[in-house]
Amino acid sequence: MAHQIPPDGTLLPLMEEFYTIQGEGYHSGKAAYFIRLGGCDVGCHWCDVKESWDAELHPLTHADQIIENASIHPGKTVVITGGEPLIYNLDYLTEGLQARGIKTFIETSGAYPLSGTWDWICLSPKKFKGPREEVSRAAGELKVIVFNKSDFAWAEEHAQLVSADCKLFLQPEWSKAAIVTPLIIDYVKQNPKWEISLQTHKYLNIP
């Protein structure tokens, strides 16, 4: 039987949740509670959580329970990711987290309308389904995954769509890191508005 997900966001397909150290981007190194929602139709061939794509595989979980689970940890930051979390209405979840004094961060491709109340929006746009204008404008961080040389020009295109104070990051795709990391280093040295993001959690061997 297919999931009947209510439009008010009180039930969400929860793939996993865990307390860890943020591994990449602007907030790398900080303690955070990750909430990974199932469901994505963006379809990146190099995605390292393809098991998140099918929402039907993940149990519908009440947002109140997710909020309760997040609130027991010392770190008062939540990162909502996926999958593609903006498929769902995230107003109820984020308002409940913030009412507990928890900061709300999101990692999104930006392909769906923006919902939720956010302390930080990390936009990681994908070629397969581009971001919506309102998400690009609201992003505090643009994190572009570099898989090959053509991604630099694509990154610059999206840098034109975000606000002037948005942080700009280039991140090597993990399976291609040995090849593209030297290219990113050279590019950032020539274009210092960009910074390098590394998946430090993979080096630390943590979730």
**Rounded-to-integer distance, Cα 85 and Cα 13, Å:** 10
Distance between the two ends of the chain, CA-based, in angstroms? Answer: 31
Please tell me the predicted confidence (pLDDT) of residue 42. 75
Are the C-beta atoms of 133 and 105 separated by less than 8 Å? no
Calculate the CA 115 to chain-centre distance. Answer: 14
Please tell me the predicted confidence (pLDDT) of residue 49. 76
Please tell me the predicted confidence (pLDDT) of residue 2. 52
Three-class secondary structure of residue 24 per DSSP? coil
Are the C-beta atoms of 53 and 83 separated by less than 8 Å? yes
Please tell me the predicted confidence (pLDDT) of residue 102. 98
Please tell me the predicted confidence (pLDDT) of residue 144. 97
Decide if domain 11-204 falls under CATH 3.30.70.260.
no
Please tell me the predicted confidence (pLDDT) of residue 46. 64
Q: What is the per-residue burial (b if ≥16 Cβ within 10 Å, else e) of 88-117?
A: bbbebbbebbbeeebbbbbbbbbbbebbbe
Please tell me the predicted confidence (pLDDT) of residue 1. 37
Are the C-beta atoms of 71 and 100 separated by less than 8 Å? yes
**Rounded-to-integer distance, Cα 119 and Cα 38, Å:** 22
Tokens for 114? 């923006």
Across the chain, which has 207 residues, the per-10-residue mean pLDDT values are 80 96 97 95 73 85 98 98 95 98 97 97 92 98 96 97 98 94 98 97 90
**Which amino acid is residue 67, in one-letter code?**
I
Q: Where exactly are the structural domains of the chain? A: 11-204
